[in-house]
């Protein structure tokens, strides 16, 4: 961005000490996102700075000093020129002892060097200190949000896609971070520069100041005109780029389908149409941003010429020392710069505020109901679970579970069956208290789960789901995840019980093998074995299992079955069942359809009833009723 801050042309001087980022013309021409409540968000954001106010004071002081020194230097340089000029004139006129007064020049030059050195020093200090302040502030906010997430109800994550939450962490924090880093100090610098320059200009020549001020409206009109137009082109370009990216993504991910159905030509035609539109809006957007600098230059040079001419006349008439023109030209340059800078910084800040607002939205989300104090406890859990008149619905208008009553004695096995998408996870959600029932109660050994602390309840329940979540870390840590104080012996014993020990030992680093991000260095079946081992380590009295069979090879499948059987021994278990043998052995079968439990009972009882379960059973194992019934 620093490139855009450049002021080319005669007398061009760099802007304030802040060279990087934020203030370039790009900030002016890009479309800006506006915060809904700018003031409130700003106040809230600034409150985060409170702990570092002494540092902020340093930043402020350094910024002001650096800028003031910077503003003084052209005048000093002008004075030197004047002195040189007078020396020359004296010599020209043959004044005795005339000529350049070098002692004065040396003193002035020393002063000038002093100003330059200290301006640079303070500018450095200001940015250096700000780096710490800004990044630490961002750290605090980011940490706050991260700590907020675990306190949010699971419903929040089910209704907000992960990508959305991630994007707040990545894009929004990036935006906030760079704005805090650069734009705040730039704003200070620009403001001080502007005031300082106006004062200096007025002291040199009110007439010339008026001349320069007269060119101001011109630059306003130009920037305003370009900014509105360019925002349209940029939005246009963004939209078309989005369309193009979408098309490319679809066609590449679906390239087999495109080919299989012979639509290559159609795909290219569509692409070229979008590509041509993109060409059009690209050059327009590029052109519009490209002309801001030249146009501002022309206007700047206009002022320059006017100052040179009018100043020249004034000097010639002896109404003004020559060095003042030189100084004035430099000031004139710095005069328009803070104005454009400020307006683009204000856009940058607005977009950062919009980002902050989104982040604060997360912080303001309602949290889960707190655990009861004092919380109840289940001292010696046996694992009897009961649902009493339980009603639950995700959407108030869509009834799901009404007056459900289930009795599961300790050690029993419950099979949950139903077609795909029947909402079997709802039961998991309720048992784990990821969602709370709206009516009735769920008890464990007679204790209402809502009277237990959540962490206590979850100690009682183990979960082995089809979605085998493992994290980037060693196998040992992943299995040990089930219990914080698990020893290596516990972990190996669990792995053995889960039939995972063998394959773990064939891996290059055994238990210390690091699973990569997608855990793709082990197979899907092996992942399931690890999650079973993890549940073994946790050793809960109650289990929730998902008996999924897809994409697992036969041998691993057998291992998983045995491991699950081992795990269920002596525990109460809820199994999302797919296998006939499991279903038949269950003490209780819950039949789900469209999210509701429509039937419950034992295998024989449900078959005899001739209801949905009966149909389901027949269709699943069609053509084999004889064999199946024969086995009953």
Partner 1 sequence: MLKLWRFLRPDRRFVLGVLVLTFLQTMSTLYLPTLMANIVDNGVITGHIGYIVRVGAVMLAVTVAGGVAAVLASLYSSYAMAGFGQRIRSRLFRHVGAFTLREFDQVGTSSLIVRTTNDVMQVQQLVGMILRMMVMAPLTAIGGIILAVYTDASLTWIVLVSLPLMAGSIALVMGKGLALFRSIQTKVDQLNRVLRESLTGMRVIRAFNRTSYEVERFRGANRDLTDTSVAVFQLMAILMPAVMLVMNLSIVAVVWFGGLQINAGTLQIGQLMAFIQYVMQIMFAVMMVSMMMFMIPRGQASALRINEVLDMDTDITDPAGGARAPRDAERGVVRFEHVTFAYPGAEEPALSDISFTARAGETTAIIGGTGAGKSTLVNLIPRFYDATEGRVLVGGRDVRAWEQEALRAEIGYVPSRAVLFSGTVADNIRYGDLAADDHAVRRAAAIAQATEFIDRLPDGFETVINQGGANLSGGQKQRLAIARALVRRAPIYLLDDCFSALDYRTDAQLRQALHREARDATVIIVAQRVSTVRDADQIIVLDDGRVAGSGRHADLMASSAVYREIVASQLSPEESA
Question: From the list 159, 228, 276, 521, which residue makes contact with partner 1 (rule: CB under 8 A)?
Answer: 276
* Residues 193 to 222 in contact with partner 1, rule: CB under 8 A: none
Are 540 and 573 contacting, i.e. CB atoms less than 8 angstroms apart? no
- Tokens coding 520: 């793709």
Binding mask 160-179 for partner 1 (x = CB under 8 A): --x--xx--xx------x--
Q: Does the N-terminal peptide bond of residue 227 adopt cis geometry, omega within 30 degrees of 0?
A: no
393 binding partner 1? (CB under 8 A):
no
Q: Which stretch binds partner 1 (CB under 8 A): 385-393, 396-404, 501-509, 555-563?
A: 555-563
Beta strands (DSSP E) in 375-438 are 385-392, 401-408, 413-417
DSSP letters along 160-223, please? S-HHHHHHIIIIIHHHHHHIIIIIHHHHHHHHHHHHHHHHHHHHH-HHHHHHHHHHHHHHHHHH
308 binding partner 1? (CB under 8 A):
yes
Neighbouring residues of 242: CB distance < 8 A, sequence distance ≥ 6:
none
Question: From the list 54, 96, 551, 610, which residue makes contact with partner 1 (rule: CB under 8 A)?
Answer: 551
Are 409 and 588 contacting, i.e. CB atoms less than 8 angstroms apart? no
Nearer to partner 1, 53 or 621 (CB): 621
How many C-beta neighbours within 10 Å does residue 5 have? Answer: 22
Rounded distance, CA 465 to CA 588, Å?
A: 20
Nearer to partner 1, 34 or 472 (CB): 472
570 Rama class: left (phi>0) / alpha (psi -120 to 50) / beta: left
Binding mask 446-475 for partner 1 (x = CB under 8 A): --------xx--xx-xxx-x---x-xx---
Q: Which stretch binds partner 1 (CB under 8 A): 374-382, 414-422, 435-443, 505-513?
A: 414-422
620 binding partner 1? (CB under 8 A):
yes
Q: Give the SS3 label for residue 238.
A: helix
Q: Give the SS3 label for residue 539.
A: coil
55 binding partner 1? (CB under 8 A):
no
* Residues 253 to 272 in contact with partner 1, rule: CB under 8 A: 253-264, 267-268, 271-272
Nearer to partner 1, 1 or 406 (CB): 1
Question: From the list 61, 213, 291, 369, which residue makes contact with partner 1 (rule: CB under 8 A)?
Answer: 291
Q: What is the distance between the terminal CA atoms of the chain, rounded to a whole angstrom?
A: 77
Binding mask 498-537 for partner 1 (x = CB under 8 A): -------------------x-----xxx--------x---
Per rule CB under 8 A, count of chain residues that contact partner 1 = 172
Nearer to partner 1, 177 or 573 (CB): 177
Are 458 and 407 contacting, i.e. CB atoms less than 8 angstroms apart? no
- Tokens coding 284: 């327009």
398 binding partner 1? (CB under 8 A):
no
Question: From the list 44, 393, 579, 596, which residue makes contact with partner 1 (rule: CB under 8 A)?
Answer: 579
Are 77 and 323 contacting, i.e. CB atoms less than 8 angstroms apart? yes
Calculate Rg over the CA atoms of the chain: 37
Nearer to partner 1, 149 or 199 (CB): 149
Using alpha carbons, select from 343, 345, 350 the residue that is nearest to residue 223. Answer: 343
Question: From the list 41, 52, 123, 572, which residue makes contact with partner 1 (rule: CB under 8 A)?
Answer: 123
Nearer to partner 1, 56 or 580 (CB): 580
Question: From the list 94, 506, 555, 610, which residue makes contact with partner 1 (rule: CB under 8 A)?
Answer: 555
Nearest distance in Å: CB 370, partner 1? 14
Question: From the list 46, 202, 210, 287, which residue makes contact with partner 1 (rule: CB under 8 A)?
Answer: 287
Nearest distance in Å: CB 39, partner 1? 28
Which helix (H) or strand (E) is 585 found in, with range? helix 580-585
Are 602 and 588 contacting, i.e. CB atoms less than 8 angstroms apart? yes
> Residues 463-489, buried b or exposed e (16+ Cβ, 10 A)?
bbebebebeeeebbbbbbbbbeebeee
Question: From the list 202, 207, 305, 369, which residue makes contact with partner 1 (rule: CB under 8 A)?
Answer: 305
Nearest distance in Å: CB 437, partner 1? 17
* Residues 136 to 155 in contact with partner 1, rule: CB under 8 A: 136, 138-139, 142-143, 146-147, 149-150, 154
Rounded distance, CA 542 to CA 444, Å?
A: 9
Nearest distance in Å: CB 158, partner 1? 10
Are 155 and 430 contacting, i.e. CB atoms less than 8 angstroms apart? no
């Amino acid at each position: 961005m620093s490139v855009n801050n450049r002021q080319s042309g005669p007398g061009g001087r760099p802007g304030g000490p802040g060279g990087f980022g934020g203030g370039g013309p790009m900030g002016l021409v890009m479309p800006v996102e506006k915060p809904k409540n700018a003031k409130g968000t700003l106040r809230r954001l600034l409150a985060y700075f409170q702990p570092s106010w002494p540092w902020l004071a340093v930043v402020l002081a350094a910024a002001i000093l650096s800028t003031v020194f910077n503003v003084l230097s052209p005048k000093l340089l002008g004075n030197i020129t004047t002195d040189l000029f007078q020396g020359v004139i004296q010599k020209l006129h043959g004044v005795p002892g005339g000529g350049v007064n070098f002692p004065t020049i040396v003193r002035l030059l020393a002063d000038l060097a002093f100003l330059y050195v200290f301006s640079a020093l303070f500018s450095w200090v200001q940015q250096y200190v700000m780096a710490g302040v800004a990044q630490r502030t961002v750290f605090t906010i980011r940490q706050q949000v991260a700590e907020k997430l675990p306190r949010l109800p699971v419903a929040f994550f089910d209704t907000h896609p992960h990508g959305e939450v991630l994007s707040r962490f990545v894009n929004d924090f990036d935006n906030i971070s760079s704005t805090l880093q650069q734009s705040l100090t730039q704003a200070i610098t620009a403001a001080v520069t502007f005031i300082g320059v106006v004062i200096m200009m007025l002291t040199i020549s009110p007439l010339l100041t008026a001349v320069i001020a007269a060119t101001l409206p011109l630059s306003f009109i130009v920037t305003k005109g370009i900014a509105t137009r360019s925002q349209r082109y940029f939005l246009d370009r963004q939209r078309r780029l989005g369309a193009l990216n979408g098309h490319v993504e679809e066609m590449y991910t679906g390239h087999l389908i495109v080919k299989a159905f012979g639509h290559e030509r159609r795909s290219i035609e569509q692409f070229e149409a979008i590509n041509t539109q993109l060409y059009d809006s690209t050059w327009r957007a590029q052109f519009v941003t490209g002309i801001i600098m030249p146009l501002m230059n022309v206007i700047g040079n206009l002022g320059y010429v006017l100052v040179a001419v009018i100043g020249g006349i004034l000097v010639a008439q002896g109404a003004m020392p020559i060095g003042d023109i030189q100084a004035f030209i430099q000031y004139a340059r710095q005069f328009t710069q803070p104005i454009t800078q400020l307006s683009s910084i204000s856009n940058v800040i607005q977009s950062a505020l919009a980002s902050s607002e989104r982040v604060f939205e997360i912080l303001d989300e309602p949290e889960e109901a707190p655990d009861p104090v004092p919380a109840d406890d289940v001292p010696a859990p046996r694992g009897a679970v009961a649902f009493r008149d339980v009603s639950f619905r995700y959407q108030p208008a869509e009834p799901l579970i009404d007056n459900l009553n289930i009795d599961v004695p300790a050690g029993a096995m419950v099979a949950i069956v139903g077609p795909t998408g029947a909402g079997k996870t709802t039961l998991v959600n309720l048992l784990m208290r990821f969602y709370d029932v709206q009516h009735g109660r769920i008890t464990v050994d007679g204790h209402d789960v809502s009277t237990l602390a959540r962490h206590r309840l979850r100690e009682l329940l183990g979960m082995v789901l089809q979605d085998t979540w493992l994290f980037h870390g060693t196998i040992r840590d992943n299995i040990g995840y089930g219990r914080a104080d698990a020893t290596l012996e516990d972990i190996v014993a669990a792995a053995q019980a889960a039939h995972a020990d063998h394959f773990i030992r064939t891996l290059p680093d055994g238990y210390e093998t690091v699973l990569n991000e997608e855990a793709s260095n082990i197979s899907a079946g092996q992942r399931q074995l690890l999650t079973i081992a993890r549940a073994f380590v946790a050793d809960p009295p109650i289990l929730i299992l998902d008996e999924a069979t897809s994409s697992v090879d036969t041998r691993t499948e057998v291992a998983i079955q045995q491991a699950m059987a081992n795990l269920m021994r002596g525990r109460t278990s809820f199994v999302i069942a797919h296998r006939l043998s499991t279903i038949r052995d269950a003490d209780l079968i819950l039949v789900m359809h469209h999210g509701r439990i429509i039937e419950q009972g034992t295998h024989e009882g449900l078959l005899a009833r001739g209801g949905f379960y009966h149909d389901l059973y027949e269709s699943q194992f069609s053509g084999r009723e004889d064999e199946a019934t024969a086995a009953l």
